[in-house]
Amino acid sequence: MKSHKVSILSTVSRSNVILNDALQMCHATAKEFTANASDLSYRLEELKKMHLELENRVNQTIKNLTVVSGQLSAAPKLADAPRTISDLKRLVAQFGSQISGFDSTVQSNTKQAHLAVAGVEEVRTLLNQLDAKTNDTIANVTANFKRNDDIRSELAGLNNTLTSKLVALEERIQEISKPVSTAAPAAPPVAAGAAPSAPPPANSTTTITASPPGKPSVLQ
């Protein structure tokens, strides 16, 4: 019984260690996913700010280009007008390329952020399932311990009952097996003219040995 209890405790201890390791790993993974999601959100906000700044610069460049175009229309003989227009067009093309690159980066980071959030939710679900399994294991172990204690109590009570009945049976057998002593019967009256019979010796007793007891009845 004691070795069985030790085996149960050892099994429960190993199960708790495995569950604790799994919970710690899941918590660490959840923290990592949360940190990654926070970092991606921060980077996404920074990219949005840069995107807005580029849009503002492009709009400003377009305004400048419009102003230059108006100036060229008003003064077509300006010598540096073609060069200025070429520079402005080149800047617009560069800004457009950068905006396209930022759009792709923003979309990629947004997708990664969604994946990280989904991973965090999945880890939370796993943690809840592990917590529920841990609670079920603890409840089952507690119920097993209570059931074992009840069985031990019942066995102890049965053992005490059997012991007391065996002791009573032994006492009854010893009492039945004791020899029974009875006084000698009185002499019959002497008939007239008959010779008196010899008296029995003094203090004589007749010993009657009791027959061995029969098979005891089954204990109730």
| pLDDT at residue 151 in the model | 92
- Which of 202, 206, 199 has the alpha carbon at shortest distance from 184? 206
| pLDDT at residue 116 in the model | 83
**In the chain, what are the domains?**
2-177 (1.10.287.1700)
CA dist 186 and 180 (Å) reads 19
Question: Which residues of the chain fall short of a pLDDT of 70?
Answer: 1-13, 72, 74-81, 180-220
| pLDDT at residue 110 in the model | 85
Sign of CA dihedral 193, 198, 203, 205: negative
Model-level pTM?
0.36
| pLDDT at residue 5 in the model | 57
| pLDDT at residue 185 in the model | 52
